[in-house]
Amino acid sequence: MSCVVITDHARARYKERMGMSKSRMEKDAEQAWKNGVRWDEVSGSLRRYIDGQHFGSKILASIRVYCGRVYIFKNGALITVFELPPKYRRKGTEERIRSRREKIEDEEAKEEEGGTQC
């Protein structure tokens, strides 16, 4: 069972826009929340596109990009989902961001192990 709550609106939009089953939607929502690229990790034209969708500053922190789709969460619940335009679905975009995230996490872990040097 998924720990992500899915609103009725999100269910309707997912079915309308993606045409996939309820079980697939639950899996995708869970994966998007856990593994999706956060809004604050996105840069360039993709960031400007997301910013231009006028979601408001309170929601931006809960946006995830996963598998060519934008998932918008609020208070731990999926409220809507939509597909990215084709120009933002370039192969490897999410992987590059994830590898950058992992590199930063690795560097932070090394700093913690080595202690601070003044």
pLDDT tens by residue, 70-83? 898 888 889 989 88
What is the structure's pLDDT at 45?
A: 83
How many CB atoms are closer than 10 A to CB 58? 8
- How do beta strands 5-6 and 77-83 pair? parallel
Cα–Cα distance between 38 and 42 in angstroms, integer?
A: 7
Q: 21-31: string of b/e by CB count within 10 Å (b at 16+)? A: eeeebbebbbb
CA distances from 33 to 30, 56, 60 (A): 5, 19, 13
Indicate the range of 42-46, 60-64, 112-116 predicted with least confidence.
112-116
φ, ψ (nearest 5 deg) of residue 71: -110, 130
**3-class DSSP state of 8:** helix
Q: Quote the DSSP letter at residue 31.
A: H
How many CB atoms are closer than 10 A to CB 61? 11
Confidence of residue 56 (pLDDT cuts 50, 70, 90): low
